[in-house]
Structure 1
Amino acid sequence: MDLLNSFDLTVYHALNHLAGHHPVLDAIMVFFAQYALELYAVLFVVAWFALPKSNSDKRHALMVAGLSGVLALLINFLISHVWFRPRPFVTLAQMHESFTKFIPHSADASFPSDHTSGSYAFASASWGKTSKWVSWAFTSIAIIVMIARVYVGVHWPTDVLASFVVGLVSSKIMWKLSPKIYPLTRIVLRMFRMGNVSNRSVAE
């Protein structure tokens, strides 16, 4: 069963009907819709080495952010196997309504959005925990991804809104588990000959 409602239809069409009319905007949305998780991986590496070598606390926050993204994807996997929601291009084709499917995508579960959940898990885990430029970059990408997944036609608006919640919950859980992550952070820091994580940052 699909929870189709006027909000989803209205917002979906408002964004999706823009696709195909603005080449530059199309290119931006397609890029973020398809490669957000890879972009986060690149930014993770850049941030790791760009931070001052002695700043271990903020690198620990990056570790928590990365693991928050993984947890968000696991939560999505469980949700999609409990309740299957068809993709917009499947439902709208059956309804004989217009839509633009701007990127290739399988007809798997639409709810929630892996890209959006992972993005907001990364972003929210970094809030107040690492450098502002890292948090701003992570959050800006997450916002664009949320819009882009609807724009290109592969998610309903409520898919990405629910994914925002999944991302927030995942980051909260991982920060609660922060002391358990400490040994992994310490191993990675030692590999790159960087300082240890302080007790303060682990306890937060």
Structure 2
Amino acid sequence: MLVVYALRPYLNPMMIFIAEYAVFFLAIAVMVIWFTRNSKNRMMVLCGASFVLSEILGKIAGKIHSNNQPFAELANVNKLIDKAVDNSFPSDHTILFFSFCITIWMFKRGWGFLWIVLASLVGVARIWVGVHFPGDVIVGAIISIITASIVYQVVPRLSITHKLLGIYEKSEQFLITSVLKPKETKSKDI
């Protein structure tokens, strides 16, 4: 622990970057996976369903228990990023990252552990920069892990999922062919 305290000034910029900007990396990764057009890219539907359900459960948990950020409740907390004082329980960033990262890991078990590492780093970074208590992050992670596991098991088995994906695939194919395929013009023979 003493080593971490001694390294704190050197780790602060990295933790600030992760706490603030890792969400952009996640957004880019989600778009790349979505548009790769392979059989597993539609896992993003499950990621989205997991996130929405986790966020709803997180809001319910936030109504049951409430606390402000550490910088608002404790003396000598190093607030490293700008954040308004509000209910920090559970961590929305943690819910977002664990919802997506756990679902991706379930599909891509081999190298997928890197997604869990990313989600964990975001949780630690949110604590490090002073905007969440460890309990905020732990509860956000637990909600997301449970929800992602349930969604992963249930949603692919629903017939409505297959119907909606079929409609989406047809719409996407229509847009791709109509936008990207040049219109053929008829040449007149003279």
TM-score of the superposition, structure 2-length normalised?
0.76
Amino acid at match of 1:90: A
The change in CA–CA distance for 1:117 and 1:18 in structure 2 (over 3 A counts) is farther
Task: Determine the structure 2 residue equivalent to 1:110.
Answer: 88
- Give distance in 1, aligned partners of 2:162 and 2:30: 17
Shift of 1:67: 2.1
Shift of 1:15: 7.0
TM-score of the superposition, structure 1-length normalised?
0.72
- Give distance in 2, aligned partners of 1:125 and 1:60: 11
Amino acid at match of 2:166: R
Q: Could you say which structure has the larger radius of gyration?
A: 2
- 1:103 alignment partner, SS class: coil
Task: Determine the structure 2 residue equivalent to 1:185.
Answer: 165
Percent identity among equivalent residues? 28
Deviating more after overlay: 25-34 vs 185-194: 185-194
Residues 81 and 129, structure 2, Cα contact 8 Å, conserved in 1:
yes
Task: Determine the structure 1 residue equivalent to 2:181.
Answer: none
Amino acid at match of 2:60: L
Unaligned segments of structure 2, at least 5 residues: 175-190
Task: Determine the structure 1 residue equivalent to 2:97.
Answer: 119
Deviating more after overlay: 162-171 vs 119-128: 119-128
Determine whether 1:65 maps to 2:47. Answer: yes
Unaligned segments of structure 1, at least 5 residues: 1-10, 195-204
Task: Determine the structure 1 residue equivalent to 2:182.
Answer: none
Task: Determine the structure 2 residue equivalent to 1:200.
Answer: none
- 1:106 alignment partner, SS class: coil
Which of 144, 149, 161 in structure 2 is aligned with 1:167?
A: 144
Which of 64, 75, 86 in structure 1 is aligned with 2:57?
A: 75
- 1:109 alignment partner, SS class: coil
The change in CA–CA distance for 1:71 and 1:37 in structure 2 (over 3 A counts) is farther
The change in CA–CA distance for 1:43 and 1:18 in structure 2 (over 3 A counts) is same
Residues 71 and 170, structure 1, Cα contact 8 Å, conserved in 2:
yes
Count of residue correspondences: 171
- Give distance in 2, aligned partners of 1:99 and 1:40: 28
Residues 17 and 100, structure 1, Cα contact 8 Å, conserved in 2:
no
Shift of 1:18: 5.8
* RMSD of aligned alpha carbons: 2.7
Of the two structures, which has the highest relative contact order with CA contacts closer than 8 Å and spacing of 6 or more? 1
Residues 35 and 41, structure 2, Cα contact 8 Å, conserved in 1:
no
- Give distance in 2, aligned partners of 1:42 and 1:131: 20
